[in-house]
Amino acid sequence: MAMNRYHRFFCRSRRWTRTVETELLPWTLNGVQLGSDSLEIGPGYGVTTRVLLERVRNLCVAEIDRSAIEGLCRRFGDRTEILHADAADLPVSAGRFDSVTCFTMLHHVPSRERQDRLFAEAFRVLRPGGVFAGCDAVDGPAFRLVHLGDTCVPVPPGTLIARLRAAGFDEARVSVRKGRFRFRAYRR
């Protein structure tokens, strides 16, 4: 996963932290019951991880970027299980989690096929009754500008329900607001 210098700076900024805490996660997780055992896919620098630690008893995170792993270990290593792993091939047992989340990272998965594999892995590691929830940005000129030189494969929100159902989810919902979309998919 490649991220340009500006993007790395912004994802560590106070502005982004405030946005995550006051807007992004409250909107994305409104009405979502995470349960006690949760997996966060692609936490990056851990802005979302810090918020999730207040909402679940047991949090595991899976991150592919080695430098991000080092920072996550320093900040959260005593409070969460941290896996250096590709979310398209998770090293965890089937049915382990009550919930799986991912926030503003799907567009960094390098292909549609890998994204679909990530969706299938989220389904595999969920317990029956579990939820896969998250959000990402809607593609557009400003989004593309911020991602110049990044790995960037936007997920069209209009395709997501069918893709989540193809991964095995029984019920899926997507809603769009202010250049972002959120989703919830359930394993029954």
pLDDT digits (tens, 9 = 90+) for 29-44: 999 999 999 999 999 9
- Give tens-digit pLDDT for 2-13: 777 777 777 888
The Cβ of residue 176 has, within 10 Å, a number of other Cβ atoms equal to 11
Per-residue b/e over 34-60, b at no fewer than 16 CB within 10 Å?
Answer: bbebbbbbbbbbbbbbbbbbeebebbb
Encode burial over 6-20: b for 16+ CB neighbours within 10 A, e otherwise: ebeeebeeeebbeeb
Question: Residue 156: what residue type?
Answer: P
CA distances from 149 to 37, 38, 144 (A): 36, 32, 10
pTM comes to 0.95
Percent of residues, the chain, with pLDDT higher than 70? 99
